[in-house]
A = this chain, B = another copy of it.
Amino acid sequence: MLREWDLHTSSVRLADGCYATTLHDAWSIGPGTHGGYQVAVVASTIKEMLPHHPDPMVLSSYFLSPAQPGPAEVQVRVLRAGRGSTTVSAELSQHGATRLSVLATFSSLVDQPGVIERQMPAPAMPAPETCVPAVRAEPQLVDRFHLLFDPSSLGWATGSPSGEGRIQAWLRLKEDRDPDPIVALLACDALPPATLDIGHVGWAPTIELTAHVRAIPAPGWLKVAHRTRNVAGGLFEEDCGVWDSEGRLVAQSRQLVKVPLVGVGAN
Protein backbone atom coordinates (compact mmCIF):
# COMPACT_ATOMS: atom_id res chain seq x y z
CA MET A 1 0.00 0.00 0.00
CA LEU A 2 1.32 3.41 -0.92
CA ARG A 3 1.81 5.65 2.04
CA GLU A 4 1.29 9.40 2.17
CA TRP A 5 4.60 10.62 0.70
CA ASP A 6 4.46 8.02 -2.08
CA LEU A 7 0.85 8.89 -2.85
CA HIS A 8 1.50 12.63 -2.91
CA THR A 9 4.53 12.33 -5.21
CA SER A 10 3.38 9.53 -7.51
CA SER A 11 2.55 9.87 -11.18
CA VAL A 12 1.00 7.72 -13.89
CA ARG A 13 2.68 7.12 -17.22
CA LEU A 14 0.53 8.26 -20.15
CA ALA A 15 3.09 7.87 -22.93
CA ASP A 16 6.86 7.89 -23.37
CA GLY A 17 8.14 10.65 -21.09
CA CYS A 18 4.65 11.93 -20.37
CA TYR A 19 3.14 11.49 -16.92
CA ALA A 20 -0.05 12.58 -15.17
CA THR A 21 0.14 13.56 -11.52
CA THR A 22 -1.81 15.52 -8.91
CA LEU A 23 -0.43 18.32 -6.80
CA HIS A 24 -2.06 17.40 -3.52
CA ASP A 25 -3.84 20.17 -1.61
CA ALA A 26 -2.15 18.86 1.53
CA TRP A 27 0.90 20.81 0.24
CA SER A 28 -0.83 24.15 -0.28
CA ILE A 29 0.99 27.16 1.03
CA GLY A 30 -0.70 30.54 0.75
CA PRO A 31 -2.36 30.74 -2.66
CA GLY A 32 -0.02 28.17 -4.24
CA THR A 33 1.74 24.85 -3.78
CA HIS A 34 4.93 24.24 -1.79
CA GLY A 35 8.00 24.67 -4.06
CA GLY A 36 10.06 21.86 -2.55
CA TYR A 37 7.10 19.54 -2.93
CA GLN A 38 6.80 20.44 -6.64
CA VAL A 39 10.49 19.62 -7.06
CA ALA A 40 9.93 16.30 -5.27
CA VAL A 41 7.02 15.42 -7.58
CA VAL A 42 9.18 16.07 -10.65
CA ALA A 43 12.14 14.15 -9.16
CA SER A 44 9.87 11.19 -8.28
CA THR A 45 8.60 11.08 -11.85
CA ILE A 46 12.13 11.12 -13.25
CA LYS A 47 13.08 8.34 -10.81
CA GLU A 48 10.12 6.29 -12.05
CA MET A 49 11.44 6.65 -15.58
CA LEU A 50 15.08 5.80 -14.79
CA PRO A 51 15.23 2.53 -12.79
CA HIS A 52 19.02 2.25 -13.22
CA HIS A 53 19.70 5.85 -12.15
CA PRO A 54 16.98 6.47 -9.56
CA ASP A 55 18.67 9.22 -7.50
CA PRO A 56 18.93 12.95 -8.18
CA MET A 57 22.64 13.84 -8.20
CA VAL A 58 22.04 17.45 -9.26
CA LEU A 59 18.76 19.15 -10.12
CA SER A 60 18.08 22.73 -11.21
CA SER A 61 14.53 24.09 -11.03
CA TYR A 62 13.36 27.34 -12.56
CA PHE A 63 10.01 28.45 -11.13
CA LEU A 64 7.96 29.95 -13.97
CA SER A 65 4.43 30.33 -12.61
CA PRO A 66 2.62 29.57 -9.36
CA ALA A 67 1.23 26.04 -9.12
CA GLN A 68 -2.15 25.24 -7.67
CA PRO A 69 -3.45 22.02 -6.12
CA GLY A 70 -4.96 19.72 -8.73
CA PRO A 71 -4.04 17.78 -11.85
CA ALA A 72 -0.66 18.39 -13.42
CA GLU A 73 1.50 16.92 -16.13
CA VAL A 74 5.20 16.05 -16.05
CA GLN A 75 7.10 15.78 -19.33
CA VAL A 76 10.56 14.22 -19.17
CA ARG A 77 13.08 14.12 -22.01
CA VAL A 78 16.35 12.20 -21.81
CA LEU A 79 19.20 14.42 -23.00
CA ARG A 80 22.05 12.02 -22.37
CA ALA A 81 21.94 8.42 -21.18
CA GLY A 82 25.39 7.46 -19.89
CA ARG A 83 26.68 4.42 -18.08
CA GLY A 84 27.00 6.18 -14.73
CA SER A 85 24.33 8.86 -15.02
CA THR A 86 21.43 10.13 -17.09
CA THR A 87 20.69 13.80 -17.75
CA VAL A 88 17.12 14.89 -18.43
CA SER A 89 15.05 17.97 -18.93
CA ALA A 90 11.59 18.03 -17.36
CA GLU A 91 8.61 20.32 -17.14
CA LEU A 92 5.80 20.40 -14.63
CA SER A 93 2.74 22.03 -16.16
CA GLN A 94 -0.92 22.69 -15.41
CA HIS A 95 -3.53 23.65 -17.98
CA GLY A 96 -0.77 24.11 -20.56
CA ALA A 97 1.22 26.57 -18.40
CA THR A 98 4.69 25.54 -17.25
CA ARG A 99 5.13 25.73 -13.48
CA LEU A 100 8.67 24.37 -13.19
CA SER A 101 11.34 23.86 -15.80
CA VAL A 102 14.04 21.42 -14.70
CA LEU A 103 17.43 20.13 -15.78
CA ALA A 104 18.79 17.22 -13.77
CA THR A 105 21.41 14.51 -13.72
CA PHE A 106 20.38 11.28 -12.00
CA SER A 107 22.62 8.42 -10.94
CA SER A 108 22.63 5.54 -8.49
CA LEU A 109 23.88 6.82 -5.15
CA VAL A 110 24.28 3.30 -3.67
CA ASP A 111 26.88 2.64 -6.37
CA GLN A 112 28.83 5.80 -5.50
CA PRO A 113 32.25 5.37 -3.85
CA GLY A 114 31.84 5.84 -0.09
CA VAL A 115 34.99 7.86 0.58
CA ILE A 116 34.49 11.21 2.31
CA GLU A 117 37.65 13.23 1.86
CA ARG A 118 36.28 16.42 3.38
CA GLN A 119 32.90 17.90 4.12
CA MET A 120 31.28 20.89 5.80
CA PRO A 121 30.63 19.93 9.42
CA ALA A 122 27.00 20.00 10.48
CA PRO A 123 26.23 23.12 12.53
CA ALA A 124 25.87 22.73 16.29
CA MET A 125 22.19 22.53 17.25
CA PRO A 126 20.29 21.55 20.37
CA ALA A 127 18.64 18.11 20.24
CA PRO A 128 15.24 17.94 18.53
CA GLU A 129 13.50 17.54 21.91
CA THR A 130 14.63 21.02 22.95
CA CYS A 131 13.93 22.70 19.60
CA VAL A 132 10.81 24.64 18.77
CA PRO A 133 8.02 23.41 16.46
CA ALA A 134 7.14 25.51 13.46
CA VAL A 135 4.28 27.90 13.89
CA ARG A 136 2.78 28.18 10.45
CA ALA A 137 -0.24 29.77 8.88
CA GLU A 138 -0.71 26.56 6.89
CA PRO A 139 -1.80 23.82 9.27
CA GLN A 140 -1.70 21.23 6.51
CA LEU A 141 2.10 21.55 6.21
CA VAL A 142 2.47 20.95 9.94
CA ASP A 143 0.83 17.59 9.25
CA ARG A 144 3.32 16.80 6.45
CA PHE A 145 6.66 17.19 8.21
CA HIS A 146 8.13 18.00 11.59
CA LEU A 147 10.15 21.21 11.54
CA LEU A 148 11.86 21.90 14.87
CA PHE A 149 13.78 25.19 14.91
CA ASP A 150 17.03 25.88 16.67
CA PRO A 151 15.88 28.53 19.18
CA SER A 152 19.04 30.58 18.47
CA SER A 153 17.84 31.16 14.90
CA LEU A 154 14.21 31.82 15.78
CA GLY A 155 14.39 35.42 17.00
CA TRP A 156 12.46 36.56 13.93
CA ALA A 157 9.38 34.72 15.23
CA THR A 158 9.25 37.04 18.24
CA GLY A 159 10.23 40.24 16.45
CA SER A 160 13.96 40.01 17.25
CA PRO A 161 15.78 38.65 14.20
CA SER A 162 19.44 37.95 14.93
CA GLY A 163 20.63 39.84 11.86
CA GLU A 164 22.83 36.92 10.85
CA GLY A 165 20.62 35.67 8.01
CA ARG A 166 20.63 32.13 9.33
CA ILE A 167 17.79 29.67 10.05
CA GLN A 168 18.34 26.11 11.25
CA ALA A 169 15.89 23.31 11.98
CA TRP A 170 15.46 19.57 12.29
CA LEU A 171 13.22 18.03 9.65
CA ARG A 172 11.46 14.71 9.38
CA LEU A 173 8.39 13.51 7.49
CA LYS A 174 5.39 13.22 9.80
CA GLU A 175 4.52 9.75 8.62
CA ASP A 176 6.86 7.09 9.99
CA ARG A 177 9.29 7.07 7.10
CA ASP A 178 13.00 7.67 6.88
CA PRO A 179 14.45 10.24 4.51
CA ASP A 180 15.69 9.36 1.03
CA PRO A 181 17.40 11.49 -1.65
CA ILE A 182 14.09 13.00 -2.79
CA VAL A 183 13.10 13.92 0.76
CA ALA A 184 16.55 15.57 0.97
CA LEU A 185 15.51 17.71 -2.03
CA LEU A 186 12.32 18.70 -0.22
CA ALA A 187 14.43 19.66 2.79
CA CYS A 188 16.41 22.14 0.65
CA ASP A 189 13.25 24.24 0.26
CA ALA A 190 11.28 23.49 3.43
CA LEU A 191 12.36 26.26 5.81
CA PRO A 192 11.06 29.82 5.76
CA PRO A 193 13.39 32.28 3.97
CA ALA A 194 16.64 33.15 5.74
CA THR A 195 15.84 36.83 5.12
CA LEU A 196 13.36 36.59 8.03
CA ASP A 197 16.44 36.53 10.25
CA ILE A 198 17.55 39.91 8.91
CA GLY A 199 14.11 41.47 9.33
CA HIS A 200 12.47 40.99 5.94
CA VAL A 201 8.95 39.72 6.31
CA GLY A 202 6.72 38.22 3.69
CA TRP A 203 6.77 35.59 1.02
CA ALA A 204 10.03 35.32 -0.94
CA PRO A 205 9.47 33.85 -4.41
CA THR A 206 12.20 31.53 -5.67
CA ILE A 207 13.46 32.19 -9.20
CA GLU A 208 15.81 29.22 -9.37
CA LEU A 209 16.97 26.44 -7.05
CA THR A 210 19.85 24.06 -7.73
CA ALA A 211 20.49 21.16 -5.36
CA HIS A 212 23.27 18.59 -5.23
CA VAL A 213 22.34 15.35 -3.47
CA ARG A 214 25.60 13.91 -2.19
CA ALA A 215 24.55 10.74 -0.37
CA ILE A 216 21.62 8.56 0.64
CA PRO A 217 20.53 9.85 4.06
CA ALA A 218 20.84 7.58 7.09
CA PRO A 219 17.54 6.92 8.92
CA GLY A 220 16.32 9.58 11.32
CA TRP A 221 16.21 13.36 11.50
CA LEU A 222 17.70 15.67 8.90
CA LYS A 223 19.50 18.78 10.10
CA VAL A 224 18.84 21.72 7.75
CA ALA A 225 20.72 25.05 7.77
CA HIS A 226 19.81 28.03 5.57
CA ARG A 227 21.94 31.09 5.20
CA THR A 228 22.01 34.23 3.08
CA ARG A 229 25.10 36.38 2.64
CA ASN A 230 24.20 38.48 -0.40
CA VAL A 231 21.07 40.62 -0.33
CA ALA A 232 21.32 43.22 -3.09
CA GLY A 233 19.44 44.54 -6.08
CA GLY A 234 16.15 43.12 -4.83
CA LEU A 235 17.51 39.55 -4.78
CA PHE A 236 19.19 37.25 -2.33
CA GLU A 237 20.86 33.88 -2.49
CA GLU A 238 19.91 31.21 0.00
CA ASP A 239 22.48 28.52 0.66
CA CYS A 240 21.29 25.35 2.30
CA GLY A 241 23.06 22.36 3.81
CA VAL A 242 21.27 19.15 4.78
CA TRP A 243 22.97 16.63 7.09
CA ASP A 244 21.69 13.20 8.08
CA SER A 245 21.59 11.67 11.57
CA GLU A 246 25.16 10.43 11.18
CA GLY A 247 26.46 13.91 10.36
CA ARG A 248 26.96 13.26 6.65
CA LEU A 249 26.26 16.17 4.30
CA VAL A 250 23.55 14.64 2.11
CA ALA A 251 22.46 17.71 0.15
CA GLN A 252 23.64 21.20 -0.62
CA SER A 253 21.58 23.78 -2.47
CA ARG A 254 21.49 27.39 -3.50
CA GLN A 255 18.48 29.43 -4.57
CA LEU A 256 18.14 32.84 -6.15
CA VAL A 257 15.15 34.50 -4.50
CA LYS A 258 13.31 37.82 -4.75
CA VAL A 259 13.45 39.92 -1.60
CA PRO A 260 9.88 40.29 -0.25
CA LEU A 261 8.39 43.58 -1.40
CA VAL A 262 6.91 44.45 1.99
CA GLY A 263 10.28 45.78 3.05
CA VAL A 264 12.47 45.68 6.11
CA GLY A 265 11.13 45.69 9.62
CA ALA A 266 11.44 43.82 12.87
CA ASN A 267 7.87 42.62 12.56
> Which residues of chain A have a CB within 8 Å of any CB of chain B?
57-58, 60, 62, 64-65, 79-80, 85, 87, 89, 98, 101-103, 105, 109, 112-120, 165, 198, 207-208, 210, 212, 214-215, 228-235, 237, 249, 252, 254, 256, 259, 264
Determine which of B80, B113, B120 lies in contact with A65 in the assembled complex, contact meaning CB atoms within 8 Å. B80
A23 to chain B minimum Cβ distance, whole angstroms, is 19
State the number of copies, please.
2
Docked pose: A156 CA to B165 CA in angstroms: 35
Chain B residues within 8 Å of A228, by CB: 118
With A118-B198, A208-B210, A210-B208 already in contact, the answer to whether A60 and B103 are too (CB < 8 A) is yes
CB pair A214 B229 closer than 8 Å: no
Chain B residues within 8 Å of A207, by CB: 57-58, 85, 105
CB pair B103 A80 closer than 8 Å: no
CB pair B237 A215 closer than 8 Å: no
CB pair A119 B229 closer than 8 Å: yes
Chain B residues within 8 Å of A235, by CB: 57, 112, 212, 214
CB pair A165 B237 closer than 8 Å: no
Known: A58-B207, A112-B233, A118-B198. 18 other contacts (CB 8 A): A57-B256, A60-B103, A64-B79, A65-B80, A79-B98, A103-B103, A105-B208, A109-B233, A113-B234, A115-B233, A116-B231, A117-B231, A118-B232, A119-B229, A120-B229, A208-B210, A212-B254, A214-B230
Chain B residues within 8 Å of A252, by CB: 230, 237, 254
CB pair B229 A118 closer than 8 Å: yes
CB closest chain-B residue, reference A254: B254
CB pair A62 B103 closer than 8 Å: yes
A27 to chain B minimum Cβ distance, whole angstroms, is 22
A80 to chain B minimum Cβ distance, whole angstroms, is 4
Chain B residues within 8 Å of A208, by CB: 58, 60, 103, 105, 210
CB closest chain-B residue, reference A121: B229
